Every structure is written in structure tokens, then in C-alpha cells.
Amino acid sequence: MGRKKVLVTGANGQLGSELNDIFKDDSSFDTHFLNRQKLPLDQPNLIHGVLDMYQPDIIIHAGAYTAVDKAESEAELADKVNHLASEQIAEYCTINNCRLIAISTDYVFDGNSSEALKEDAKVDPINTYGVTKLKGEQAIQHFCPDAIIIRTSWVYSTYGNNFVKTMMRLMNERSEISVIDDQIGSPTYANDLAKAIVDILNSKDWISGIYNYSNEGEISWYDFAVAIKEIDNLDCTIHPIPTTSYPTPAKRPKFSLLDKAKIKSTFGVEVPSWRHSLEKCIDKLN
């Protein structure tokens, strides 16, 4: 048996970049990273042709339209990328006997829960991004029932644009900032998620279905910002504000804490605490 060929979509995203770092040091897979130039997810009709050129054994579908607020005015584009492209990838995987791990989001939920969400909790997205990601999930499950779908939340990394880097910049520029304190969840360090995905690939069992992954703990965006300030020794006053004081084009779920028991028990995946991972990321950024 030769090395398994792994193809990663969304090569330049936070997760794609972290996977690239991990696979660079891992010669057990033959990896190909496709950015939006090589695999235009906004042109679903081209996807089969591109994938045929690579003939992967496994696809990690990390590419997505993730501009949550912009999606409200670009619903058709978000649907092409998050839903129709996922459908094409899922269809390709089934036809070509290729395994699929696809990344989804906590935004498939309405945010009205008060306890950590299990994989079978009721879905009811409250913004366009969430709707397109849910339709993508449903298409994947329909066309490729053997797929593994991982829902994650509040992703950050040393790569790309994210909350951690924005907060560090703002706290260096300003003496005070305001951050929302009534949206609850847990952040996900993309490097941890990338490691979890590699653990699944190395696992002897392939057990399809939906799984949750975010770091351990339960915090608000305000708590997250305060921790960033403490860890990076920044001098800035942070004011907690309600969501109502910071209106955005897209509504956000108020509560989207994910229950990680299933991924831990099924694949033996480790889930570090959010604070420990945040320290690691800020240390790397500095």
C-alpha cells in the first residue's frame, strides 16, 4: 500500500494553514492543499474536474465562505460555496470511494439552549451563513453518508483574521474597548482542531456522522478578551456590553457551547482547555 493521498480545501484559511504545518512534518500522507484559485468553490460545476486531476483517497473539506455579516447580502455566493460546493465534493467522494471529513459550525443552532449542545440537538440557524452551512451538512449526509462532519466554534489561529489577533491589535491601539458579554460558547484553536483531524485519520476505525469540537470550557467573548489582555500583558480597559449595544447585519446565537463527549469517546481525541490553547497561540504570535 502506498501513502494515502489527502486533499485539503481552503488551503489558505486558518484550519488549512494549521493542517499544512502539521502535515509538513508527517510523511505518512501524500498531501495536496488547494486554495480558491486551484479549487474555486464558488464554481461548483468545476469541482469534479479538479478533484479528478488529484484522485485523492481522503478529502478534508475546510474551505468555506465564512464572512458571517457579508453573507446576509451575498446569500447566493455563500450558498454556492457552503452548500453547492459541499454537495459536489460529497458526490465525488461517493462515486470515487474517497473518504470525507467536512468542517461545519455552531451557527447551525439558534442559540436558545442553556446546556452544552450534543450532535443530535435541534438545528435552526438564525443567519444566512448558518443556513448555508446547514444545507451543506445535509447535502453531505445525503450524498456521502460515510462522511465525518465536525462542527466547531469561535475559531482562531496565528493565521488569518480572527478575534484574538483583532483584540491584540485594538488593545495596543486604544485605552478602552467594549466586548459582548452575553454570547456564550468556547473558542477553538485551529491547531488543536487540525491535530484532532489527524488523530481521526490515524484512527483504526472510520465512524461516520456528526461530531463536535471546540476547546474545553465555557466563556463569553468578554471573558475571552479579558484573558487575551491578561496573557499578553496589555494595558486596556475592557467594558462588557450586551449584544443589543452592538448590532450586526447577521444575528449571532446567544449560546453555542458544544458537547465534545462523542469525539473524545469515539476517536480518543484530546481536547485542551481554551485558556491553555490561547496561551500557546499568543506565545506563538509573539
Query: Tens digits of per-residue pLDDT, 34-91?
Result: 999 999 999 999 999 999 999 999 999 999 999 999 999 999 999 999 999 999 999 9
Q: How far is residue 234's CA from residue 229's CA, in Å, rounded to a whole number? A: 5
Interval 178-202: pLDDT, tens? 999 999 999 999 999 999 999 999 9
Distance CA 131, CA 27 (A): 38
Could you tell me which CATH number the domain at 4-160+187-216+256-271 has? 3.40.50.720
The answer to whether 215 and 273 are in contact (CB under 8 A) is: yes
pLDDT of residue 178: 98
Whether 93 and 147 have beta carbons less than 8 Å apart is answered as: yes
Q: Are 128 and 72 in contact (CB under 8 A)?
A: yes
Region label for 160, one of left (φ > 0), alpha (ψ between -120 and 50) or beta (otherwise): left
Q: CA-CA distances (angstroms) from residue 111 to 32, 83, 95, 247, 281? A: 36, 21, 36, 16, 27
Given a contact cutoff of 8 angstroms between Cβ atoms, the answer to whether 33 and 228 are in contact is no
Parse the chain into domains and list their residue ranges: 4-160+187-216+256-271
Q: Among residues 92, 129, 156, 222, which one is catalytic?
A: 129
pTM exceeds 0.95, yes or no = yes
* CA 63/CA 254 separation, integer angstroms: 25
Which DSSP symbol is given to 258? B
Q: Is 246 among the catalytic positions?
A: no
* E strand map for the chain: 4-9, 29-34, 58-61, 99-105, 148-152, 155-156, 176-180, 184-185, 188-189, 209-212, 219-220, 237-241
pLDDT in tens, 144-172: 999 999 999 999 999 999 999 999 999 99
